Amino acid sequence: MAMLEVENLSVNYGVIQAVKGVSFKINEGEIVTLIGANGAGKSTIVKTISGLLKPKDGQITYQGKNTVKEKAPQIVLDGISQVPEGRHIFSGLTVMENLQMGAFLQKSGSEVNKGYQEIFERFPILQKRKNQDAATLSGGEQQMLAIGRALMAKPKLLLLDEPSMGLSPLYIQEIFKIIKELNEKGTTILLIEQNAKQALSIADRGYVLATGKIELTGTGQELLANPEVQKVYFGG
């Protein structure tokens, strides 16, 4: 059984149908990527899985449980955390306070403290800047903070929405390295990316979206080698 299964998902913004009968699955331990141009429906799918949007039609099943009617906090408790597009760190709050926001549903103080320790071991720069206003961090540091904040909820499934957006090439390499390491340590990942080559290079499987529908699917390596993908996304 898949960890997450999306079946015939349709999502509207008013009269505009942003997602049109999309189906895909994520197995435990995988990195699965959704790639596509702006407006393809990628972020809409992530927000719907997270409970921030409600679908017009379709099913979302997580570990055998239909989550379509669940509110976002319950979905976090179920084990799904989202790193949103644009990071959305809380300016005016310190790095430490941002991490605390990620742990707001955790009831065990010892587990929260363990979470801080794990985040600071993974992102030493955040420990150095823990008392600094999060808004003063660089773009790459803010992305690390956004990932750290999501990890504070102890997710089994991590949803990453455009994690490389607006970052320097050096930080892009670092963020993709972090994603791979998180997966190797047991976190299942759904990766939404415009940087198709980077995403497919680390993904077990991928889905190509266009105008709200899935057009292609395959392993990461199959899609990297696909002439149509190369032409559209790599200029080949």
Note the pLDDT tens digit of each residue in 124-138: 999 999 999 999 999
In this predicted model, what pLDDT tens digit does every residue of 223-236 receive, in sequence order?
999 998 888 887 65
Secondary element (H or E) of residue 100:
helix 95-102
Mean pLDDT (whole number) for 21-28: 97
- CATH superfamily of the 4-88+154-233 domain: P-loop containing nucleotide triphosphate hydrolases (3.40.50.300)
pLDDT value at position 236? 54
Question: 20-53 burial, b for 16+ CB within 10 Å, e for fewer?
Answer: bebebbbeeebbbbbbbeeebbbbbbbbbbbbeb
Rounded average pLDDT over 197-203:
94
Alpha carbon distance 56, 217 (integer Å): 24
CA angle 194, 196, 201 (to 5 degrees): 140
From 67-81, 103-117, 170-184, 213-227, the region with the lowest mean pLDDT: 103-117
Q: Are 46 and 159 in contact (CB under 8 A)?
A: yes
